[in-house]
Amino acid sequence: MEISLEKKFENKIAEDLKIEPQDWMPDEYRKTLVRQISQHAHSEVVGMLPEANWLTRAPSLKRKIALLAKVQDEGGHGLYLYSAAETLGVSRDSMIEDLHSGKAKYSSIFNYPSLTWADMGAIGWLVDGAAIMNQVALCRTSYGPYARAMVRICKEESFHQRQGYQIMLTLSNGSTEQKEMAQDALNRWWWPALMMFGPKDSDSPNSEQSTRWRIKRLSNDELRQKFVDATVPQALFLGLTVPDKDLYWDENSKSYRFGEINWDEFWTVVKGDGPCNKDRIQTRIKAHENGEWVREAALAYAAKQHDRSSKMVG
Ligand code: 3HC
């Protein structure tokens, strides 16, 4: 007896097989993947901005080269993810339009200002550290192109996290002013990094369905806990203080207990009223407009190549 397309899809998910672009999938599965993958791509591209601010101010050529490589990587991550989203039938232009119009989200973390060089350390260490936690789990997501994009991205993220931690190590072992700069950066980036994992599971409208479809393999709270347990010892090794008076090691659960996240701040930033939201979008729109000629030239060249090859075949 012929089984339904829905049943075939559900069997593949249950057997932990990848769903591929040509496979039948529920409209809602497609829709939530376009939502998540495109917003992930937006986060990568907007995430270039806080660090780009310090490319010309890096304290040495070596630091500048490492930061330049990281920022370029993030742009590449955005391209992989836009391409993964396009396999679901959404156009690049419509995704970019949704970002520029404010309709689409991107990670709230990138709406905070990068005020000192130590922020480059804190962003690499904490933001890319949190992204790795989330993205390693996404290597097992049920949608094939997304999972495969994650494998390459995670390899590059580990370099990003290491170069950030190395900056923090240098500053923490440096002069009093340098150590204070590192502590100030940890104070400002710690809580926004915890917010990267999203709202509490109990407040997450998408998690239940995304978990059932194995888009999400670990919940927001599980990933956040993994990040805290991995990162607090790193802060202690730096000789820095995590800015959470309620943080303590719980011997019973063998994990850290931490204070309540400021969810008002989270939703304020997510809804567009963070310190840098408007500036980030304006900068993205300007960069897109300034890049129009590059896209036109690339498309003209591709069309010419296509004509040439079809004449040769014809
Ligand atoms: N910033 C902005 N919006 C957020 C957010 C955050 N930190 N956390 C959650 N949200 C939004 C969600 O997008 C959702 O809104 P939507 O339905 O309009 O999209 C709403 O808040 C409710 O959250 P949910 O938990 O229900 O949503 P999800 O199930 O999608 O989970 C997520 C949120 C964990 C961020 C998930 O979307 C995800 O894993 N995304 C892929 C990873 C990602 O985007 N990471 C962002 C950082 S990328 C990065 O840091 C790059 C690095 O190289 C620097």
In 3D space, the residue among 133, 123, 131, 109 whose CA is nearest the CA of residue 223 turns out to be 133
For residue 5, give both structure tokens.
Answer: 């397309």
pTM of the model as a whole: 0.96
Residue 250: count other Cβ atoms within 10 Å of its Cβ. Answer: 9
CB 193 within 8 A of CB 119: no
**How far is residue 248 from each of residues 155, 189, 191, measured CA to CA in Å?**
31, 19, 16
Residue 198, C-beta contacts closer than 8 angstroms, at least 6 positions apart = 204, 207, 220
- What is the length of the chain? 314
The reported pLDDT for the residue numbered 311 is 85
Under the banding of pLDDT at 50, 70 and 90, the label for residue 313 is confident
Supply the angle between the helices 144-172 and 128-138 in degrees, to the nearest 10.
160
Q: Which is the closest atom of ligand 1 to the Cα of 223?
A: 34
Tokens 């007896």 belong to residue? 1
User: Residue with the nearest Cα to atom 45 of ligand 1?
Assistant: 40
Residue 2 confidence (pLDDT): 78
Q: How far is 97 from 186, CA to CA, in rounded Å?
A: 34
44 CB within 6 A, ligand 1? yes
Give residues with Cβ within 8 angstroms of 238, minimum separation 6. Answer: 168, 169, 172, 182
pLDDT digits (tens, 9 = 90+) for 60-95: 999 999 999 999 999 999 999 999 999 999 999 999
Could you tell me the distance, in angstroms and rounded to a whole number, from the CA of residue 3 to the centre of ligand 1?
Answer: 35
Q: What confidence tens digit (pLDDT) does each residue in 187-199 have?
A: 999 999 999 999 9
What is the Å distance from ligand 1's center to 206 Cα?
Answer: 10
Q: Give the alpha-carbon dihedral of 66, 76, 291, 71, to 10 degrees.
A: -20
What's the gap in Å between 117 CA and the centre of ligand 1?
A: 27
Mean pLDDT in residue range 202-227: 97
Would the CB of 119 count as within 6 Å of ligand 1? no
Whole-angstrom distance, CA of residue 217 vs CA of residue 222? 10
- pLDDT at residue 312, rounded to an integer: 83
Q: For ligand 1, is residue 142 a contact (CB within 6 Å)? A: no
160 CA from centroid of ligand 1 (Å): 20
Using CA atoms, how far apart are residues 85 and 16, in angstroms rounded to an integer?
A: 21
Distance 146 CA to ligand 1 centre (A): 15
Residue 150 contacts residue 135 (beta carbons within 8 Å)? yes
Task: State the Cα–Cα distance between residues 278 and 119, nearest whole angstrom.
Answer: 20
What are the pLDDT digits (tens) for 138-185?
999 999 999 999 999 999 999 999 999 999 999 999 999 999 999 999
CA of 126 to the centre of ligand 1 (A): 16
Contacts with 138 (C-beta within 8 Å, 6 or more apart), sequence order: 146, 147, 150, 217
32 lines ligand 1 (CB under 6 A): no
Whose C-alpha lies nearest to ligand 1, atom 10? Answer: 198
Q: Using the 8-state DSSP alphabet, how is residue 2 labeled?
A: P
Q: How far is CA 17 from CA 83, 145, 146, 214, 226, in A?
A: 21, 13, 13, 10, 26
Number of DSSP helices (H) and strands (E) in the chain, helices first: 14, 2
Nearest C-alpha to atom 15 of ligand 1 is from which residue? 105
Mutational pocket test of ligand 1: of 42, 82, 105, the residue with most ligand atoms within 8 Å of the beta carbon: 105
Determine the 3-state secondary structure of 15 from DSSP: coil
pLDDT tens digit sequence for 8-30: 999 999 999 999 999 999 999 99
Q: Is the pLDDT of residue 3 over 90?
A: no
